[in-house]
Amino acid sequence: MSIQGEKLQKVLARAGVGSRREMEKYIDANRVSVNGKVAKLGDRVEETDLIRVDGHTVKIEEKADRICRVIMYNKPEGELSTRKDPEGRRTVFDRLPRIDGERWIAVGRLDINTAGLMLFTNDGELANRLMHPSYEVEREYSARVFGEVTNETIKNLTRGVELEDGPAKFLTVKSLGGEGINRWYNVTLNEGRNREVRRLWQSQDVEVSRLIRIRYGKLELDKRLPQGGWAELDLETVNYLRKTVKLGRETQTKLSVMPEKRKDKRAKINQIRKAVKKHNQRVKQTKRK
């Protein structure tokens, strides 16, 4: 299938440079050129065009040339959801495995003080659709809150409140108990605006002291996965995510298609824990220097 006539940002997203939304920002910032000329939003490209991003040539691939891959990451608090930080702080990308000729694209972000489930993929179109509000992919969070939560509070949060960037609400709010005015609640919503969960609670004079994302769509955070650990998702799970956002099935995977034995699963988790521990030790040694 030829890429002739496809929009530039879509082609760049498929090439794994970033999500379609990110590529639109790159183009708008004059960071992309086509055949030596600065690109603009709305440009369409052909297979023979020479595309550069920040001066680096982008290898354009057909849809069939790439195996769609997705990894689950258990983000700890204290890591930024950016590729690089000018202040040298830890980022979620520091621990991810390298992929030749491609790079991982984050499916949304979690702020520095939020932990839990993050997804990364090499398919920019999949990332774009999973983040796009039109697909209404449900997210679930566990939040420890400080403050008085009444029935009226819950009603307000599920009916909707006005935030500075528009109306917002939780789909569900479920009490998990707790002591005094420190209580845990599981909340769901189907969009991922910046710090939306925290801002919704703050609108009711309630502060979030801990926040963990535990589910994205029907995909739950693997409780065996240690903080700072990652695991690649199998073909069935990848295709669940693709189907959720109306993309065609992937037929290939980098993983073994043989069912894993229980002892093999335990060995894999132990291996992940060792890798996380080793990475943390390297970070501590670097800080001492």
In our burial notation (b when 16+ CB lie closer than 10 A, e otherwise), range 177-215 reads: eeeeeebebbbebebbeebbbbbbbbebebebeebbbeb
**Could you say which of 111, 165, 205, 234 is catalytic?**
111
Whole-angstrom distance, CA of residue 24 vs CA of residue 42: 9
Helix-, strand-, coil-residue percentages of the chain, each rounded to 5: 30, 25, 45
The interaxial angle of helices 20-28 and 124-131, nearest 10 deg, is 100
Q: Are 95 and 80 in contact (CB under 8 A)?
A: no
111 labelled catalytic: yes
Q: Check if the beta carbon of residue 73 is closer than 8 Å to that of residue 11.
A: no
d(CA 243, CA 157): 30
Q: Where are the beta strands (DSSP E) in the chain?
A: 6-7, 32-34, 37-38, 44-45, 51-53, 56-57, 70-75, 105-106, 114-121, 139-146, 161-163, 166-168, 172-179, 182-189, 207-216, 219-220, 230-232
Strand 37-38 and strand 56-57: pairing?
A: unpaired
Q: 272 in helix, strand or coil?
A: helix
Residue 175: strand pairing partners? 185
Write out the catalytic residue numbers.
111
